[in-house]
Amino acid sequence: MFLQRINFIKIALGIGLVAVVTAGCKKLDQEPKDSALQGPVFGSQNGLDLYANSFYNILPTAGTILRGDAMSDYCARTTVPDFLRPGAYGPQQSTGWGTDDWRPLRNINYFIQNNNSTAVSQSVRENYTGLARFFRAWFYFDKIKRFGDVPWIGKPINANDQALYNGRDSRALVMDSVIADLDYACQHITQTNANRSLITKYVAYAFKSRVCLFEGTFRKYHDEYKLQSSANGLLQQAVDAAQKVISEGGFSINTSGGTSQAYRQLFSSQVPVANETILAAVMDPGLSVYSDANWYWTSATYGDRLSLIRTFVNTYLNIDGTPFTSKSGYQTMPFTEEVKGRDMRLQQTIRMGNYTRNNGGTQEAAPPVFSYTYTGYQPIKLTQDDASMDGGTRNTNSLPIIRYAEILLNFAEAKAELGTLTDADWNMSVGALRRRAGITGNTNTKPALVDTYLQTNYFPGISDPALLEVRRERGIELVLEGFRFYDIVRWKRGPLMDMTWNGFYVPALNQLLDLNEDGKPDVCFYKGTAPGAVKNVTYVNVATTLSNGTTNPQRITGDNSGELTWLTTVPRQWNDKFYLYPIPEAERLRNPNLGQNPGW
């Protein structure tokens, strides 16, 4: 029913609201004729509801979420993104500013301008205006993250309007407008959301906590913008918005299934786990709404073959709450040993241990497969454990867009940045998430000691133990959910994107390795000529040069043993201009007043 209503409103409003900004249409200088729409659309609650459904296209789809961390520091992938390859990306390749990218804004602004019919009660109109302003805030937040300064457009404009040729407004002005929109949405949205697919006031508060945390930390660490004086005010707004969700929203951390299942249930269930999920991309087989999660993550050719890197996997704590890297000999620990006794989110994020999948009605052992992974740390978090879903758009699992765990982390991080994080705050936020993951130690009080591995490898400029641990927790809890690149951006830690794509430790060449200890060998690494073939074993050549004379992208760090590495031969070079994308060259030719972001 939900999709049918969206399609109806697209048909009903398509000519009046969309065609006016499409190149090549006649009479682009005329306002859309809304007389026919005032009655059936703006003159009834049902009409407003139908129109408001069109806004939801702005939200990320399951496919977008699946691919959200395709460019991040903690994942190896098939190819180096052009964005990070020297000389491969510039204003000519940049996207995100074309007519189609701005069209949703006009749709929203047109609604806000015309939602004034006295045939509908004021509270109902304010609810729907609140929805529209929420989506306008979402739209602009995406633009700010990508481009920085953007033009603020608060009304529908025509193709001949001179405002189209204005320059960009400052990020401070636009962010003030975004927060004003969210404040209005928080105060006026009244609809409820039983299936977690609709916007409520608590979705608005949750999103506000995300927005204010991003902008507050961005301003704090990007001192080149001279906006540090406003950072703490934004961080306090992040705290206050998160506190609203925590105190009034009725959400909680999912613990159903215990420490070995509760975390992954959030991502593998068709019906969103309602107590923790605040907003979701909902799959519905009845309406033929599926995603391609398994296909993306378990294909040698279709997806990016994202694989976690060892440096990041090392940040998962031991089950007793101590750093894994405090163990003697962790550097040369083989895969089967290093994954034992760890934060139980690890076994719900990658293939390891006794993980199995359904294959034609039979549960089969499923160790990491080197046709799909480059590092050995093969993700399962967003997939379903059914091989029948591997080849096509067949997944039925709904994926969270906003969940309560993120709000707890927003709260904890903002308070840590402000220096106001208490033991009680830690206990109910990071501590609660770690207890859900089976961690038994150091969950009730905030840490007092710096983990030097985390500090050295990730955040050398941070000396506060609590802030370091909140950042560790954010990486682990939200891994593969699409947050990482812009976390790196706001923390001004772009050099992390140059991190070596390393994999698990290979103890010896020409040795059959049983990665899940089921008595059956799974992989063998060799150089030059492969040893005699054993059924169901994947043989991986790690020689520097392949037999055809080409450079081998898959290697190990030593002669006969060492960490796996991937694509170390392809340069990646972070440049500080990458904190913002360039304004596309085609758009600057149309409107030179847009200018260009620094360095591009």
What's the mean pLDDT in 139-151? 98
54: which strand partners?
Answer: none
Q: 239-255 pLDDT, tens per residue? A: 999 999 999 999 999 99
Residue that the structure tokens 């992208």 belong to: 553
Q: What is the pLDDT of residues 11-59, one digit of tens each?
A: 344 433 333 333 333 222 333 444 445 678 999 999 999 999 999 999 9
List own/partner pairs for 92-101 with CB under 8 A and 24 or more apart: 92/584, 92/585, 94/581, 94/582, 94/583, 94/584, 94/585, 95/584, 96/143, 96/146, 96/147, 96/581, 96/584, 97/147, 97/583, 97/584, 97/587, 98/584, 98/586, 98/587, 99/21, 99/22, 99/23
So what's the pLDDT on residue 207? Answer: 98
Q: What is the DSSP string of 496-564?
A: GGG---EEEEE--TT-EE-TT-SSS--EEEESSS-----TTPEEEE--SB-TTSPBPSEEESSSSSEEE
What pLDDT score does 16 carry? 37
Residue tagged 């004086």 (tokens): 229
Any idea which residue has 């089967």 for tokens?
Answer: 336
Positive or negative torsion for Cα 336, 342, 346, 347: positive
23 and 102 Cβ atoms separated by less than 8 Å:
no
Q: Please, what's the largest Cα pairwise distance for the chain? A: 81
Can you give the residue ranges of every domain in the chain? 502-566
What pLDDT, on the 0 to 100 scale, is given for residue 9? Answer: 38
Please state the rounded mean pLDDT for residues 321-336: 98
Of residues 139, 85, 66, 60, the one with CA closest to residue 382 = 66
159-185 b/e (C-beta count within 10 Å ≥ 16 → b): eeeeebeeebeebeebbebbbebbbbb
* Residue 155 in this model has a pLDDT that exceeds 70: yes
Amino acid at 146: R
Tokens at 196, concatenated: 């977690």
How confident is residue 194, by pLDDT bands cut at 50, 70 and 90? Answer: confident
For the stretch 451-487, pLDDT in tens is 999 999 999 999 999 999 999 999 999 999 999 999 9
- Which of 249, 307, 304 is CA-nearest to residue 278? 249
Q: What is the pLDDT of residues 408-433, one digit of tens each?
A: 999 999 999 999 999 999 999 999 99
pLDDT of residue 449: 97
What per-residue confidence (pLDDT) applies to 38?
A: 65
- Average pLDDT of 373-384? 98
- Which residue in 482, 254, 260, 258 sits closest to 352, CA to CA? 260
**C-beta atoms surrounding 31 within 10 Å:** 11
Point out the least confidently predicted range of 2-16, 396-410, 566-580: 2-16
In 10 A of CB 574, how many CB atoms? 18
pLDDT for the residue numbered 162: 84
Cβ–Cβ < 8 Å for 378, 351? yes
Q: Is 1's pLDDT higher than 50?
A: no
> Alpha-carbon distance 42 to 37, whole Å?
7
Distance of CA 538 to the CA centre of its chain: 32
* Residue listed under structure tokens 């020689």: 543
Report which DSSP code applies to 289. Answer: B
Q: Average pLDDT of 428-445?
A: 97
The closest alpha carbon to 324, from 340, 336, 308, 309, belongs to: 340
Is pLDDT above 80 for 282?
Answer: yes
Query: Is pLDDT above 90 for 168?
Result: yes
User: What rounded mean pLDDT belongs to the chain?
Assistant: 93
Residue 103 has pLDDT above 90, yes or no: yes
Q: Is the pLDDT of residue 189 over 80?
A: yes
